[in-house]
Structure 1
């Protein structure tokens, strides 16, 4: 039997079945991966930057469509209105108020520093143009704030409701901008803060899951056909041997 199973003809059948099984398994796994990826959030179209005033209004909540959009803001930083946002990746965010020149201001995350006495903390003077991503105002964590005794000039969240009380007299637009570039650049630049582009929820593509199941079914069918052909070969060989050993008819008596 082993000689039959490893004969050139049957060996080629073995290799063909293994190849078909591996190919169907990999193709099914690929389609399953496409199905899984379709359910994950993915980046949306990233439009060109627009003026921050086009997407925000004082006293109005920023829309969800504006979150993550690239914006530009032109104005001057107020040195008296800068705070440090604590507990940000082991360091601090530099959060300053940018006066837009129309009576309103927008909070700007200028960058990240590891300590409060970093030279980059100094607020740039003069008119600047900031490009960055607009983010919604964070919720105020009053419980954690009461549990922490923060140094003067530090906050835990970038919250418009909290900043109105910290920067008294400022007419703030909702949300804040995470700066990616500033023109002219500051004398000492802080480390940029990562601001991901806007994303949208994915929708599962069930068709790809069906394709994965089909490929795996094809693989099982290949195994069945291999077993079927090998069985027929063994049965045929067994029948041949039985025929060979079958005694012939006895000669007729004279």
Structure 2
């Protein structure tokens, strides 16, 4: 049997099947990777900055499609209204609250625009409230950043400890309107990426807008198809090898093929 399996024609068959299996498996894995990648968010269009007043209003929620848009805002900071968002790292998408306890603070400062309304601005990140960078600049400033929707009050897992005065756990418009009561507050907040004059605080990283992509089920079907082809190749290889072994065994035992119906029996004399 071993000599049959190592016959040149079967060795060629073995090598062919191995090549088919490797190729079809890799092709199936490639199509599966395309399927998996199709569901991941991709960068959306990122238009030039617009005035924050074009995308936000007081008393109305910020449109979903405005999240992540680049905006500009010019006004003066209200130093007396500055708050510290506790237990945060310098990344707006990173988890806060208990997951980032004692990691630092966002500088949340109301910016009074020329129309008298307020917009919440994350000016940057500091490691402690005593950091000199927490000081609020005086005079007119121009902020460039990305607009974010207001956080929900349960957006973070809060610690059991009570926050001291001047600190909050989330950037929630519904909470801030009860703190900054001297002017209408626009919904959402701006994460500053640049400021004139420049800020000394560490910038908080904020990602550009993304859009969800639907899964391409066709690629999953292609992956399954390639793997079915690989299984079929193994099935055909098994049958070819089995037939070759049976034929070789029959030849070695001297068995002859059965006679055709109506013909003479093997070995019979013909008169």
**Which interval holds the TM-score relative to the shorter structure?**
0.7 to 0.9
Could you tell me which runs of 5 or more consecutive residues in structure 2 were left unpaired when the two chains were aligned.
Answer: 90-102, 258-265
Matched, 1:177 2:220: no
Matched, 1:230 2:241: yes
Whole-Å separation in 2 of the counterparts to 1:42 and 1:239: 64
Whole-Å separation in 2 of the counterparts to 1:250 and 1:224: 41
Match of 1:168 in 2: 181
Match of 1:30 in 2: 30
Match of 1:126 in 2: 139
TM-score if structure 2 supplies the norm length? 0.82
- 1:3 CA displacement: 1.9
Match of 1:96 in 2: 109
Whole-Å separation in 2 of the counterparts to 1:66 and 1:251: 99
- 1:109 CA displacement: 0.5
TM-score if structure 1 supplies the norm length? 0.87
**Aligned residues of 1:74 and 1:128 also touching (Cα < 8 A):** yes
Match of 2:225 in 1: 214
SS class of match (1:166): coil
**Aligned residues of 1:70 and 1:133 also touching (Cα < 8 A):** yes
Whole-Å separation in 2 of the counterparts to 1:45 and 1:245: 77
Whole-Å separation in 1 of the counterparts to 2:39 and 2:220: 12
Whole-Å separation in 2 of the counterparts to 1:8 and 1:81: 86
Match of 2:100 in 1: none
- 1:4 CA displacement: 2.1
Match of 1:69 in 2: 69
The number of aligned residues is 249
**Aligned residues of 1:141 and 1:156 also touching (Cα < 8 A):** no
Matched, 1:78 2:78: yes
Could you tell me which runs of 5 or more consecutive residues in structure 1 were left unpaired when the two chains were aligned.
Answer: none
Would the alpha carbon gap of residues 125 and 6 (structure 1) be closer, same or farther in structure 2, given more than 3 Å must change?
Answer: farther
Whole-Å separation in 1 of the counterparts to 2:196 and 2:235: 69
Matched, 1:198 2:209: yes
Measured against aligned partners, the alpha-carbon deviations of 1:162-202 in whole angstroms (never above 9, x if no partner) come to 2222223032111001111223312x2x2222222223333
Higher helix content, 1 or 2: 1
Whole-Å separation in 1 of the counterparts to 2:59 and 2:14: 73
- 1:251 CA displacement: 9.9
Measured against aligned partners, the alpha-carbon deviations of 1:10-59 in whole angstroms (never above 9, x if no partner) come to 22221221121122112112212222232333332222221111100112
